[in-house]
Amino acid sequence: MDSAHGPRIVVVGAGLGGLALARVLQLHGRSVTVFESEASTGARLQGGSLDIHGGTGQAALRAAGLLDRFHALARPESQEWRVVDPVTAAALPFPGLVHDDDSPEIDRGQLRGLFLESLAEGTVRWGCNVTGATPLGDGTWRLLLDDGTTEDADLVVGADGAWSRIRPALSDATPGYTGVTFIETGLGDCDTRHPGLARMVGHGTLLATADGKALLAQRNSTGHIRVYAAFRAPRNWHVAADVEPDDTAAVRAHLLKMFDGWDDNLLSLLRHHDGGFVHRPVFVLPVPHTWEHVPGITLLGDAAHLMPPVGLGANLAMLDGADLAYALITESSIDDAVRAYENLMLPRSARAARDCAKALDDLIPPTDR
């Protein structure tokens, strides 16, 4: 990264937002390097299906020149939501979660692959674990890596998620537990192995909710269904329940007891899962999460505005990346670009975070309601 060939722009984190930023910059002839702690693109499973909204995620994909390739992979039929009564499994009206009418689904891994394939070779430096950033006093920054090496940059963009190592340079905010935990599992090849459950879930997402807990089943590609049991409980709920989190049989028994009395077909989603359970306590940043502008550094995505997982996070991360890239392309200086981006992103993310908090409360109502 030679400053003689343009500003040294470094993105920390190869998630969707960081990759969107890198792709749009490269599309306009700008240099960028992405540091990612994972060893390779396939080092970690990338999670479930995402609904990509017309005004946010799809707008970012259009700016990245990837919208047609996205539509070739996306599943518009998976926008469908089926809401059912927990006891009878009878159909109920859709409760109005954060969603819009143009939100085709795509597996997160497929979407990330689109961005990675579009980048110049060597853009992502895999296995580079950034531990922090320090100012050099002239508006530039030095990245610290866990192997003892450093990298200097004219702009550092923290796109490194909920537990960002870059955020402390701008904000002392830390994520707080919402009181809601999701426990994830899944069923593979459902159309063949569990055709009844596949028909019940349909092409999109199935939801049943009551008494401060919910079951969700989400269709992914290749016949896979991801299942989430969600409930309000202390973060260390397993201690009071005397359950080891990695004891699959004990967690399954606890969940079946928790959802006792629900329709047997819904409970079959928990009985017939493949593999173990993944525990996902839901953390969020304060709302609004803002900071005083600091030259040469900014945040995007979950690093900037971690919010409940109700369908907006990935969309906003990609839009953040596209908007920051556009500002860097059009503004006269890096500082002007970052100011313009933050003036757009911060109020937008505050509005979205409030909407997502309400959606989570509607999905899993607090006990004091």
Q: What is the pLDDT of residue 175?
A: 98
54 three-class SS: coil
Output the pTM of the full model.
0.94
Q: Which of 108, 114, 63, 102 is nearest to 313 (CA)?
A: 108
Q: What is the pLDDT of residue 4?
A: 43
Q: What is the pLDDT of residue 2?
A: 36
| Least confident segment among 2-11, 83-92, 294-303 | 2-11
Q: What is the pLDDT of residue 38?
A: 93
Residue found under tokens 């069923």: 187
Q: What is the pLDDT of residue 291?
A: 98
Q: Is the pLDDT of residue 199 over 80?
A: yes
Q: What is the pLDDT of residue 94?
A: 72
Rounded Cα gap, residues 154 and 140, in angstroms: 5
> How buried is residue 112: exposed, middle or buried, by Cβ count under 10 Å (0-12/13-18/19+)?
buried
Q: What is the mean pLDDT of residues 350-367?
A: 92
Q: What are phi and psi of 206, to 5 degrees?
A: -105, 135
Rounded Cα gap, residues 176 and 179, in angstroms: 9
Q: Is the pLDDT of residue 327 over 90?
A: yes
Q: What are phi and psi of 65, to 5 degrees?
A: 70, 25
Alpha-carbon distances, residue 104 vs 54, 63, 113, 269, 320 (angstroms): 9, 18, 17, 24, 20
Q: What is the pLDDT of residue 115?
A: 98
Domains defined for the chain, CATH in brackets: 3-76+106-175+286-363 (3.50.50.60), 178-283 (3.30.9.30)
Mean pLDDT, the chain, whole residue set: 93
Alpha-carbon distances, residue 277 vs 70, 80, 93, 205, 236 (angstroms): 30, 25, 30, 19, 16
Q: Is the pLDDT of residue 1 over 60?
A: no
Q: Is the pLDDT of residue 97 over 60?
A: no
Which two tokens mark 8? 């040294």
